Structure 1
Amino acid sequence: MVPNLTVCAYSPGTVDDAAAHTETHLAAHAPHLRAPFRDALPQAAAAVGRRLLGALWREDIADTRIRYEGTGDRHAYDRVEFGAVPAADPVALLPPSIVDGPGWVLAAELANAVANLAVAYARRDATPAPPFGGPDAAAVTLERLAVDGHNLHPCGRTRIGWDVDDVLAHDLEAGTTSVGFVAVRRDAHIGDDLGPLVGGPAAPPGYVVQPVHAWQRDAVLARRYPDLLRDGTLRLLDGAVPAVPTAALRTLLLPGGRYLKLSLDIQVTSSRRSISVAATRNGPALSALLARLLAGEDRVVLLAETAGAALDGSRDASAIVRDGLTGRLAPGERVVPGGALPIVAGELLDEYGAGPLAFLTDYARLVLPPLLRLATRHGIALEAHLQNCLPTFTAGHPHRLVLRDLAGMRLHRPRLAAAGTDLALWPGSVIATDDLYTMRAKLGYTAFQAHLGELVIALARHGLDETAAWRAVRAVVDETYEPLRADPATASAAAADHAAFTAPTVPHKALVRMRLTGGGDVYIPVRNPLHAP
C-alpha cells in the first residue's frame, strides 16, 4: 500500500483547472476529441504522477523517501518506479511548503503536462502518416510511439506558451506543421543563407530569407519585434512549406529527408526551446570536427549540422539545417529512434533470438566505446540520451549508432588543446568547459542512466536480470578503456575517466530540483551499479 500524502487545500494550476480550460477549447476546435480527452485524463495524470513521484524519491525532496520507504520497484542509479500514485492530481504530490513557495511554477507545469498528454492520448490513433516516405519519415512514425515524451521528466508533455489550438495544429500528433519565412536585412543577419536550401521565397533586395516555425513567425516575431518590423530590419513573409514535427517539436522533417531545427519559444520539459546564435554558428564547425574525429568509428553515423543562421542579438529566429538518413542505410538496416527503443525492445529481441543479456551486451558494445573514446581522447562529451540517438538494427542485431543534435554536448577545453584540436567556438558558448566533472556528468548521465538505464528496465520485462545486466555493461566499459589505458597518450585520462564512471556514486541530473531552483543543470549523487569493490 502507498501511504497517504497530505494534500494542500489549494494548488495553483491544478489538473482540474487545466482540464476545464482544455475541454472548453476542444469544444470549439475539435469537439470529437472531448470524450476521448476526458477518458484519457486519469491515465495521463497517473503517468505524470508516477514520474514525479520517482523524481521526488530519487532526489530525496521533502522526505519523500521516508514516506514511501518499502514501496515501488527499485532499479539502478537509485531509481524507483511506482506502480500507483496516491493522488488523482500530480500537483497534490508536492508538499504545501513547496507549492506555496518555489514550486508554484512546477505545479502549473505539471497540470499543463497532464492536459497535453491527455490530448495526445486522445488523438494518437488518428495521427496522419508523414506525407512522404523514406527512412527519416519511418523514424518519425516510430518516435510517435513514445507518447509520454521524455522518459524520466514528469513534465515531458509541457507546452507552456501554446494554447490548446496551437497544440492541435503543431504538436507531434498533428502529423504536419509548416515552415514560415521572414526577410532579415543583411546587416542584421548572422550566418548562412538558408532560404534557398529549404525552398523559401526569393529574398527582397538587401535581405536574406530566414526560415522560421510558422507559429513562431505569427505568435512571437510579429508581436515581440515591433521596432524591427517598423524600421524594416525584419519583414514577415507570406507562404509556408509543409513539414513533419519530430518528437523534439522544434526540429521538423522536410520533404527530401533533411531536417530543420527552428527556434520555438515554448517550454518543453525544463527549457524554452529557442536557439542561441552560438548554436547556429557552432553546429557546422562541430559537425566538421566530429566527422574527422569519428572517421575511424565505422559503426557511427553523424547527422551533420550543415548550415545555420540567426537574427543578430536574438534567439527567436534561429535555424539549423541538419542532414537526414536518405541514402545512408544498407538494405535490411532498420533505424529505431532511441525514444521508441524501450517500446519495441521485445520485437527486436524476437528477431535477435539469443536472449536479453546477449542483446544488451551487443548494444552496449555499439553505444559506449565511441562515446567513451571521444571523451578520453578529445574531451568531447556528446549528449547521448535516447532522444539524440537512433540505433540501427539488422535482423534484431545492433548494427550502427546514428547521432544527432549537438547543442547539449560539452567540450573540455584542456583535453581538446592537449589533443591538438583547434576549434573556434562562438563567443560565450555554454558548451565549453574547463571542468572535467561537468564533461563527465553530461556523458555519464545521458549515456548510462537516461539511455542504457531505460533499456535495461525495458529488457527486464522480457526476462533480463538487472544485476547481470550492469555487470555486462561494466565489462564493456572495462574492455573499452583497456587499450586507452595502455596508450601513453591517453593513459592518464583513461584511468581517471574509468575511475569516475565506475565510482561508488555518480552524478544524476536532478530534474525536479532544477525546476525548483530555476537555474541550470543540477546534479546529485546516486549509487552506481557499475561500481565493483
Structure 2
Amino acid sequence: MSELTVCAFAPGTVHDAAAHAENHLAVLAPHLRDPFQAALPRAAAAVGRRLLGALWREDIADTRIRYERRGRPHAFDRVEFAAVPAADPVDLLPPSIVESRRWTLAAELANAVVNLAIAYARRDATPPPPTTGPDADAVTLERLAIDGHNLHPCGRTRIGWDVDDVLAHDLEAGTTRIGFVALRRAAHLGDDVGAALAAAGLDVPAAPPGYVVQPVHAWQRDAVLARRYPDLLRDGTLRILDGTVPAVPTAALRTLLLPRGGYLKLSLDIQVTSSRRSISVASTRNGPALSALLHRLLATEERVLLLAETAGAALPDSRDAGAILRAGLDGRLAPTERVVPGSALPAVAGELLREYGRGPLAFLTAYARLVLPPLLRLATRYGIALEAHLQNCLPTFTAGTPHRLVLRDLAGLRVHRPRLAAAGVPLELWPGSVIGTDDLDTMRAKLGYTALQAHLGELVIALGAHGLDEAAAWRAVREVVDTTYDELRADPATACAATADHAAFTAPRVPHKALVRMRLAGDGDVYLPVRNPLHAP
C-alpha cells in the first residue's frame, strides 16, 4: 500500500468504472478480481496525487489556496502531495471548471484509475519477453514504471479499450499480436514494410497480385479497419488478411518489440494520456528522412546512439493504418553496457548509485553531461529539438557510470526551419507536418520541457530519496548548460543562436506543458510559465 491516504470508495465516477471492470474480470479473469479490488485505493491515490500536483502547478481555480503548504515543493513549480483528500480523483476538480469538460476529464480519470488497478493486479504475473538481449532487457525495465507518464494524471488511460482489450494487449499482457491487411498498390503510400518484415524472417502472409501487405495492430485491424472502411473493403481496395505474428508491447503500447529484433510502431486508435495513438501519414514519411539526417548531424556525438526509423507506410489520407519500422539495440552495445529506459530510472536509481559509488550529486552531474550537451548542440546548430522525455531516452551505464544516450521515436520533435536552412542543411518534410515550425519559442519549449522538466526533474526527485540536495543538483545542471553554451558561443557560426538559447533556458520563468489545461481545452499543446531552477540572478 502506498503512503498516500484515501478513504473508502463512494458511489461516483471511479465507483461505476470499477464496478464495470469487476463484472468483466469475474468472467474473463476471475483470479484478478480480488487483487483488482485490493489495488483500487492505491490506484486512485496515484491518479489523484498526479492530478492534484497538476492542478497546483497549473494554478487552476483556487487549488493553491485550498492546498497551501500541504505538499512538498520541487523545481519548476512542482509540488508532490503525500495525501489525497478524495477517494475519487474527479472530486479534486474545482467546481468552476466548465461542466462538459469536467465530465470528459472525469471519464478519463476513472479510466486511468481502473486500468492502473488492473496493472497493479497483474504486475507480478507478467511473463518475461520471449527473447533475450538489450531490447528485451529494456522492455522488462519499462514495466517498473507501472504508473505510466510521470506527470500526467491520466498516465494509464486506455480510452477505446474495454477490459478484454486491456487484458489482451496492455503492457502487462506480455505479448500482443500483429495483424496484416492488403492494400492495392495505388492505395499504399510509402515503403513495403510487410516485405521488410518477411525478409527479417517473420511469417507475413503473401501479397495478392497487385497488392502490398501492410502490418497493423491486431486490435486495430479488428476494431477499427474492419468497421471504419466498409467502402474500401467492398470495392477491394482494402483486404483483411488471416494470420498474426506475436510481438511484445512496450510502454508506448503501439510500439512493439519484434520476435527477431527491432521494433514496429503501429497505429492504435485509443487515447493514452492526451492523445489518440494513431499515426499520421507525415510521421511514416518523415521518420526515415529524419533518421538519415540525424545520423549525419549526430555523427560527431560519440556518446549518442539513434534508433533509426528505417521504413514507413500508410493508407493515404488516413491515420488508421500507419506503420514505422525502427532499428533495435541488439548487437550495438558493449558486453559491459547496461541499458535502462529513462522511465525506469527512478526505480533503479539506488542500484545505479551503489554501482557508481561516488554519491548522488556526482552521479547526477555525470548524467546531465551525458544527456544535455548533444541535445542543446543539436537545437542551437540546426534548430532540431528532440522530444527527450523519459520514454524516448534509453541511457546506458557501465558499472553505474552514465555511458551513452540512446534516442528513439522522432514523431514529437520540432524542427525550426529557418535555423536548419541557415545551417545549409536541406530537409523536405511531408506537407502539413506539425513538427516543422518557424517559431523559436515553440522549438525551445519542446526541448526544455521534455529534457529538463520531465526528464532531469524526475531524476532529481528520485535521487532526493538517496540524499541529493535539490538546490545543489540544479546548480550542477546549470553548470553543464553554461559549459555547453560557452563552447557554442566560441564558434562564430553558432554564437548568436547560443546566446539566445542560453538566455531562454536560464530565464526566470520557462514554459511548462499544462497537461490538465490541455485536457480541458480539448486539443493542442498548452504551455504556462513556471519558475526556473536554472535561473541565477
TM-score (norm. length: structure 2): 0.97
**1:83-482 matched pairs, under 5 angstroms:** 83-98=82-97, 100-198=99-197, 199=202, 200-482=204-486
**Which residue of structure 1 aligns with residue 510 of structure 2?**
506
CA distance in structure 2 between the aligned counterparts of 1:165 and 1:90, rounded to whole angstroms: 24
**Which residue of structure 1 aligns with residue 527 of structure 2?**
523
Contact 2:134 2:330 in 1 (8 A): yes
CA distance in structure 2 between the aligned counterparts of 1:131 and 1:347, rounded to whole angstroms: 25
Deviation sequence 1:439-473 (CA, Å, 0-9, x none): 00000000000000000000000000000000000
Q: Gaps (5+ residues) in structure 1?
A: none
CA distance in structure 2 between the aligned counterparts of 1:390 and 1:355, rounded to whole angstroms: 22
**What secondary structure, in the 3-state scheme, does the structure 1 residue paired with 2:396 have?**
strand
TM-fit CA distance, 1:62: 1.2
CA distance in structure 2 between the aligned counterparts of 1:151 and 1:430, rounded to whole angstroms: 25
Letter in 2 for 1:430: V
Letter in 1 for 2:68: E
Contact 1:134 1:257 in 2 (8 A): no
What value does the CA root-mean-square deviation take over the aligned residues?
A: 1.2
Letter in 1 for 2:191: D
**Which residue of structure 2 aligns with residue 46 of structure 1?**
45
**Which residue of structure 1 aligns with residue 36 of structure 2?**
37
TM-fit CA distance, 1:522: 0.2
**Which residue of structure 1 aligns with residue 501 of structure 2?**
497
CA distance in structure 2 between the aligned counterparts of 1:400 and 1:510, rounded to whole angstroms: 31
TM-fit CA distance, 1:196: 2.0
**Which residue of structure 1 aligns with residue 3 of structure 2?**
none
Contact 1:366 1:399 in 2 (8 A): yes
CA distance in structure 1 between the aligned counterparts of 2:23 and 2:225, rounded to whole angstroms: 28
Deviation sequence 1:82-140 (CA, Å, 0-9, x none): 00110011011012332623221110000000000000000100000111111101100
CA distance in structure 1 between the aligned counterparts of 2:245 and 2:326, rounded to whole angstroms: 17
CA distance in structure 2 between the aligned counterparts of 1:162 and 1:70, rounded to whole angstroms: 39
TM-fit CA distance, 1:486: 1.2
Contact 1:335 1:390 in 2 (8 A): yes
CA distance in structure 1 between the aligned counterparts of 2:248 and 2:98, rounded to whole angstroms: 37
**What secondary structure, in the 3-state scheme, does the structure 1 residue paired with 2:100 have?**
coil
**What secondary structure, in the 3-state scheme, does the structure 1 residue paired with 2:96 have?**
helix
Contact 1:500 1:506 in 2 (8 A): yes
Letter in 2 for 1:57: W
CA distance in structure 1 between the aligned counterparts of 2:55 and 2:371, rounded to whole angstroms: 29
CA distance in structure 2 between the aligned counterparts of 1:257 and 1:359, rounded to whole angstroms: 31
State how many pairs are aligned: 525
TM-fit CA distance, 1:41: 0.1
Letter in 2 for 1:462: H
Contact 2:301 2:374 in 1 (8 A): yes
CA distance in structure 2 between the aligned counterparts of 1:282 and 1:354, rounded to whole angstroms: 42
CA distance in structure 2 between the aligned counterparts of 1:433 and 1:97, rounded to whole angstroms: 35
CA distance in structure 1 between the aligned counterparts of 2:483 and 2:236, rounded to whole angstroms: 60
**Which residue of structure 1 aligns with residue 54 of structure 2?**
55
Deviation sequence 1:339-397 (CA, Å, 0-9, x none): 10111000000000000000000000000000000000000000000000000000000
TM-fit CA distance, 1:10: 8.6
**What secondary structure, in the 3-state scheme, does the structure 2 residue paired with 1:239 have?**
coil
Letter in 1 for 2:168: A
Task: Point out the more displaced range, 48-57 or 91-100.
Answer: 91-100
Contact 1:98 1:104 in 2 (8 A): no
Contact 2:62 2:94 in 1 (8 A): no
Task: Point out the more displaced range, 95-104 or 378-387.
Answer: 95-104
Letter in 1 for 2:81: F
**What secondary structure, in the 3-state scheme, does the structure 2 residue paired with 1:98 have?**
coil
Q: Gaps (5+ residues) in structure 2?
A: 1-5
**What secondary structure, in the 3-state scheme, does the structure 2 residue paired with 1:73 have?**
strand
CA distance in structure 2 between the aligned counterparts of 1:432 and 1:81, rounded to whole angstroms: 35
**What secondary structure, in the 3-state scheme, does the structure 1 residue paired with 2:516 have?**
helix
Contact 1:99 1:107 in 2 (8 A): no
**What secondary structure, in the 3-state scheme, does the structure 2 residue paired with 1:329 have?**
coil
CA distance in structure 1 between the aligned counterparts of 2:160 and 2:484, rounded to whole angstroms: 44
Identity %: 84
CA distance in structure 2 between the aligned counterparts of 1:370 and 1:211, rounded to whole angstroms: 34
Letter in 2 for 1:106: L
CA distance in structure 1 between the aligned counterparts of 2:260 and 2:368, rounded to whole angstroms: 32
TM-fit CA distance, 1:475: 0.2
**What secondary structure, in the 3-state scheme, does the structure 1 residue paired with 2:352 have?**
helix
**What secondary structure, in the 3-state scheme, does the structure 1 residue paired with 2:241 have?**
strand
**What secondary structure, in the 3-state scheme, does the structure 1 residue paired with 2:97 have?**
helix
Letter in 1 for 2:242: D
Letter in 2 for 1:361: T
Contact 2:337 2:398 in 1 (8 A): yes
CA distance in structure 2 between the aligned counterparts of 1:349 and 1:227, rounded to whole angstroms: 58
Letter in 2 for 1:202: A
Letter in 2 for 1:182: V
TM-fit CA distance, 1:512: 0.1
**What secondary structure, in the 3-state scheme, does the structure 2 residue paired with 1:96 have?**
coil
CA distance in structure 2 between the aligned counterparts of 1:100 and 1:225, rounded to whole angstroms: 34
Deviation sequence 1:200-250 (CA, Å, 0-9, x none): 211000000000000000000000000000000000000001000000000
CA distance in structure 2 between the aligned counterparts of 1:352 and 1:188, rounded to whole angstroms: 54
Contact 2:341 2:395 in 1 (8 A): yes
CA distance in structure 2 between the aligned counterparts of 1:424 and 1:145, rounded to whole angstroms: 39
Contact 1:212 1:263 in 2 (8 A): yes
Letter in 1 for 2:212: V
Deviation sequence 1:244-297 (CA, Å, 0-9, x none): 000000000001221000000000000000000000000000000000000000
